[in-house]
Amino acid sequence: MRLDSFFEDVAAQSISELDRGSENAESRAHWIVIRDSLGVERSRVSGKEGEIDVGEVLASHLANGCDAAAFVVHVSGDSEYLMAQALIADPREFDVRRAEVYRGDAGIRLGPWRHVIN
C-alpha cells in the first residue's frame, strides 16, 4: 500500500465525517481513520488535541494489525482545512498533509492533499 492511496481513503472518510457533523461542526474536531483486512473505518477521538500522543496512537493501531492509520484534525475559522498525519505498515511510511475544505451547493469536497513536511 502507498500513502497516496491511503490519503484517498482518508479523504472519503473525512468528507463523510464533515457531512455528518455539518450542522454543529467543531472548530478543532479530530478523528482516526484506519484500514485493515475488514476495510476502512473512522472513529471520532475524544480528548484535547494537545493531550493525545498521535505517534503512539498511530503506531499502536499498526501494532494491532492495521495496514494504515491516520489522525485527522478539522480546522475551521477564516479558512477551513484538514490536517492529517498518516502511518502505513508496509512499507513503513509516515506523512503529514493538508487539504482545503470547500462547501457549496453540490456538497463538501476537499482540495488536493498537500505535503506539510518535505
96 lies in which domain range? Answer: 3-115
DSSP assignment of the chain: --HHHHHHHHHHHHHHHHHHTGGG--TT-EEEEEEETTEEEEEE--S-GGGS-HHHHHHHHHHTT-SEEEEEEEE-SSS-EEEEEEEETTTTEEEEEEEEEEEETTEEEE---EES--
Write down the pLDDT at residue 48: 67
The one-digit pLDDT tens for each residue of the chain (118 residues) are 789 999 999 999 999 999 876 544 555 789 999 999 999 999 988 766 677 889 999 999 999 999 999 999 999 888 899 999 999 999 999 999 999 999 989 899 999 999 997 6
Write down the pLDDT at residue 26: 56
Write down the pLDDT at residue 49: 62
- The count of domains in the chain is 1
The model carries a pTM of 0.89
